[in-house]
């Protein structure tokens, strides 16, 4: 239980109260999701442009959203705008339906699930003649 005591004064350790990096990563994430969405749309509507965009994404990894969009804008500004509009629209949809309490519960449940796994792996079941472990699994 030592971990719980130490982590209590966590506030002082993670110094960025505004979570700037988290926001940046979420924007990267929505840019990636927009790229995927536009790619799929092109696959169905415009094979030539899909091929071009597919090659572009392979060459210019969209993990750095600013650099990616900057280059895309130079090479195909219509596609760049389409990705930008799509990411903002997806983001708006996401925040509209976002349930903080549910997300918190999900993450908390994932922690508990991992701790439960460990419990199951470390506990020695009493041998009463039946294979209890198998039954539990």
Site track for a second copy across 106-125, x = CB under 8 A: xxx-xx--xx-xx--x----
The C-alpha atoms of residue 50 and residue 74 are separated, in whole angstroms, by: 17
Candidates 95, 124, 129, 135; binder of a second copy (CB under 8 A) is: 95
Q: Give yes or no for residue 19 binding a second copy (CB under 8 A).
A: yes
113 Rama sector, left if φ>0, alpha if ψ -120 to 50, beta otherwise: alpha
Residue of 111, 112, 109, 90 whose CA lies nearest to 101: 109
Site track for a second copy across 62-91, x = CB under 8 A: xxx-x--xx--xx--xxxxxx-xxxxxxxx
Candidates 49, 56, 57, 60; binder of a second copy (CB under 8 A) is: 57
Q: Which is nearer to a second copy, 88 or 127 (CB)?
A: 88
- Contact of 70 with 77, CB cutoff 8 Å: no
């Amino acid at each position: 239980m030592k971990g719980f005591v130490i982590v209590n004064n966590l506030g002082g350790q993670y110094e960025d109260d505004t979570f700037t990096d988290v926001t940046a990563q979420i924007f990267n994430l929505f840019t990636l999701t927009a790229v995927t969405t536009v790619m799929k749309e092109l696959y169905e509507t415009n094979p030539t442009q899909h091929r071009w965009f597919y090659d572009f994404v392979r060459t210019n990894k969209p993990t750095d959203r600013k650099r990616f969009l900057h280059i895309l804008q130079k090479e195909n500004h219509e596609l760049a705008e389409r990705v930008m509009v799509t990411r903002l629209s997806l983001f708006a949809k996401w925040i509209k339906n976002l349930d903080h309490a549910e997300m918190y519960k999900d993450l908390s449940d994932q922690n508990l699930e991992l701790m439960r796994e460990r419990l199951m792996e470390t506990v020695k079941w009493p041998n009463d003649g039946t294979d209890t472990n198998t039954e539990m699994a």
